[in-house]
């Protein structure tokens, strides 16, 4: 039952009295989850700090629950945690890196960037760089320099870190005492940074060859063609795999790697981000395999494949994000059922989806139900059909567009323990459905219900009564 309580501790369905009950329960894992909440009362804050000590205090600062007046000004770690906390109006809504650095936070970060502890300074500098308000002091400690190397710092700053004769003096620090290891880590981080100037990357690659080859091959699209030849000449499997799936690998080398070593690198080619020649993709499709199509830029070539005589090849354009509307419209009426169903799913047109469900019957219900935009009336049709596969009915019960009527149809026509779990986890479940299923006391159902953020208070009361009551089985605790 601990997992039920831990999940419930982070739910927005809890009221103050429910949080009090969980604090009184005293389970360390549950208390740790409660520290992430931003709706705690002063009394609850005191209780959590008394139980969890320093770790609980910092967690409460990060969540935004701890009032600013209770955060010591002479505690750098707490001040840094406070910079990344959410504003009270949107508590818990974003991660620190996603939040704008306001003028007030920028001032705090600049102070922290000068902290004697270079790990604290590095964290502050990273946030400043990402916010576009860099710290101009450019401290020399290894921690700080490495933090800058992985950010969206300006090109000239990254060029300095990539300089062949070494960056501006880099000072070892307690966290990275070995200067050679620190320099290697800094260069590795900078080479993997796609904001770094390409010419500086090439120059450093030449000077340190082949130490940084694998990182550059995996991250860069702007390398010279001869550089890719040199990379393959290393005969290093990691480097070859990176080149096979790399952004800028020339087509000639992709063709070579596709068949080299009895197809050893074929998966890397198809799973990478390079432009795989279409004739190779056709070969894969005819062999019953796929891949490499999703972000392909040759839209004219893909449109031509929609006219191919083999349905396996006509399926290829449907996996591409740049598919033209007229090509899609043509494939919706394809004589091959698999192609036509895939095209209907890709169309995001409810009428085409209804037509596909009627044309292809229960065999099409699972992929249709998996579409996030599937309308509620079609979900109801799928749920009420007793020939619908149970897997499809489970997908319906989990669907965001399901209604209480749809969920009742799932429970009536496709009963089972897994169905009960799917229904109680759906935010559309009615209070009556939730109350009936939760009061059965089945542990997996309670776990699923705890994940539902829209539980009514009486259902939360029922879960807590089962989990914390004197008759709770010991194996559940």
CA-angle at 23, arms to 22 and 25, nearest 5°: 65
What average pLDDT does this structure show over 132-142?
A: 78
Task: DSSP for 171-222, please give it.
Answer: B-BTTB--HHHHHHHHHHHHHT-TTS-HHHHHHHHHHHTTTTHHHHHHH-S-
- Number of Cβ within a 10 Å radius of residue 14: 22
Question: Quick check: 428 and 402 in contact, CB under 8 A?
Answer: yes
Q: Which pLDDT score is estimated for 117? A: 86
**Least confident among 135-144, 297-306, 327-336, 364-373:** 135-144
Q: Average pLDDT over the chain, rounded to whole? A: 87
Q: Which pLDDT score is estimated for 97? A: 39
| Model confidence pLDDT, tens digit, residues 310-337 | 999 999 999 999 999 999 999 999 999 9
CA distance 37 to 350: 40
Question: Quick check: 452 and 427 in contact, CB under 8 A?
Answer: yes
Cα 461–chain centre separation: 33
Cα 264–chain centre separation: 29
Question: Quick check: 142 and 175 in contact, CB under 8 A?
Answer: yes
Tokens of 32: 């740790």
Question: Quick check: 401 and 382 in contact, CB under 8 A?
Answer: no
Band of residue 91 on the pLDDT scale cut at 50, 70, 90: very low
Strand, coil or helix: 135: coil
Band of residue 113 on the pLDDT scale cut at 50, 70, 90: confident
Strand, coil or helix: 230: helix
Tokens of 40: 């705690």
Band of residue 138 on the pLDDT scale cut at 50, 70, 90: confident
Q: Which pLDDT score is estimated for 45? A: 93
Q: Which pLDDT score is estimated for 85? A: 59
Q: What is the pTM of this model?
A: 0.70
| Model confidence pLDDT, tens digit, residues 221-232 | 778 888 889 999
Q: Which pLDDT score is estimated for 404? A: 97
Q: Which pLDDT score is estimated for 306? A: 95
The sign of the CA dihedral 233, 239, 244, 247 is: negative
CA distance 27 to 399: 33
pLDDT greater than 90 at residue 401: yes
Q: Which pLDDT score is estimated for 165? A: 76
| Model confidence pLDDT, tens digit, residues 38-64 | 889 999 999 999 988 898 999 899 888
| Model confidence pLDDT, tens digit, residues 71-85 | 888 888 888 888 755
Residue 16 is classified by DSSP as: H
Report which listed range, 226-240, 264-278, 414-428, is most confident. 414-428
| Alpha helices (runs of H) in 37-117, residue ranges in sequence order | 42-63, 76-83, 103-112
Name the packing angle between helices 251-259 and 237-244 (round to 10°): 120
CA distance 326 to 333: 12
Q: Which pLDDT score is estimated for 75? A: 87
């Amino acid at each position: 039952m601990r997992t039920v309580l831990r999940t419930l501790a982070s739910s927005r369905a809890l009221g103050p009295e429910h949080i009090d009950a969980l604090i009184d329960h005293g389970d360390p894992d549950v208390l740790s989850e409660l520290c992430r909440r931003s709706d705690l009362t002063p009394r609850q804050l005191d209780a959590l700090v008394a139980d969890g000590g320093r770790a609980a205090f910092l967690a409460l600062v990060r969540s935004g629950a701890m009032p600013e007046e209770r955060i010591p000004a002479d505690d750098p770690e707490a001040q840094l945690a406070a910079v990344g906390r959410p504003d009270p109006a949107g508590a818990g809504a974003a991660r620190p890196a996603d939040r704008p650095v306001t003028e007030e936070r920028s001032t705090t970060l600049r102070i922290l960037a000068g902290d004697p502890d270079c790990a604290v300074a590095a964290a502050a500098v990273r946030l400043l760089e990402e916010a576009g308000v860099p710290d101009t002091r450019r401290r020399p400690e290894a921690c700080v320099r490495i933090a800058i190397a992985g950010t969206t710092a300006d090109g000239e700053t990254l060029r300095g870190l990539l300089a062949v004769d070494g960056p501006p003096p880099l000072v070892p620090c307690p966290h990275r005492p070995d200067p050679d290891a620190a320099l290697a880590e800094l260069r590795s981080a900078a080479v993997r940074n796609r904001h770094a100037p390409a010419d500086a990357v090439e120059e450093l690659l030449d000077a340190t060859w082949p130490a940084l080859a694998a990182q550059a091959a995996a991250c860069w699209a702007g390398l010279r063609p001869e550089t890719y030849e040199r990379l393959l000449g290393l005969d290093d499997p990691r480097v070859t795999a990176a080149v096979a799936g790399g952004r800028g690998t020339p087509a000639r080398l992709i063709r070579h790697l596709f068949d080299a070593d009895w197809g050893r690198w074929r998966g890397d080619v198809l799973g990478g981000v390079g432009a795989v020649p279409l004739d190779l993709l056709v070969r894969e499709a005819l062999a019953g395999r796929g891949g490499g199509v999703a972000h392909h830029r040759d839209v004219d070539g893909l449109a031509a494949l929609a006219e191919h005589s083999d349905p396996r090849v006509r399926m290829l354009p449907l996996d591409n994000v740049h598919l033209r509307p007229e090509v899609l419209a043509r494939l919706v009426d394809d004589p091959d059922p698999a192609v036509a169903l895939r095209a209907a799913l890709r169309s995001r047109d409810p009428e085409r989806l209804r037509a596909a469900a009627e044309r292809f019957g229960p065999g099409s219900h699972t992929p249709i139900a998996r579409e996030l935009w599937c309308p509620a009336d079609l979900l109801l049709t799928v749920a009420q059909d007793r020939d619908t596969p149970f897997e499809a009915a489970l997908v319906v019960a989990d669907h965001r567009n399901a209604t209480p009527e749809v969920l009742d149809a799932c429970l009536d026509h496709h009963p089972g323990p897994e169905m009960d779990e799917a229904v109680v986890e759906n935010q559309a479940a009615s209070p009556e459905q939730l109350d009936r299923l939760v009061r059965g006391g089945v542990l997996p159902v309670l776990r699923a219900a705890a994940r539902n953020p829209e539980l009514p208070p009486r259902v939360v009361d029922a879960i807590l009564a089962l989990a914390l009551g004197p008759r709770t089985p010991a194996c559940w605790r």
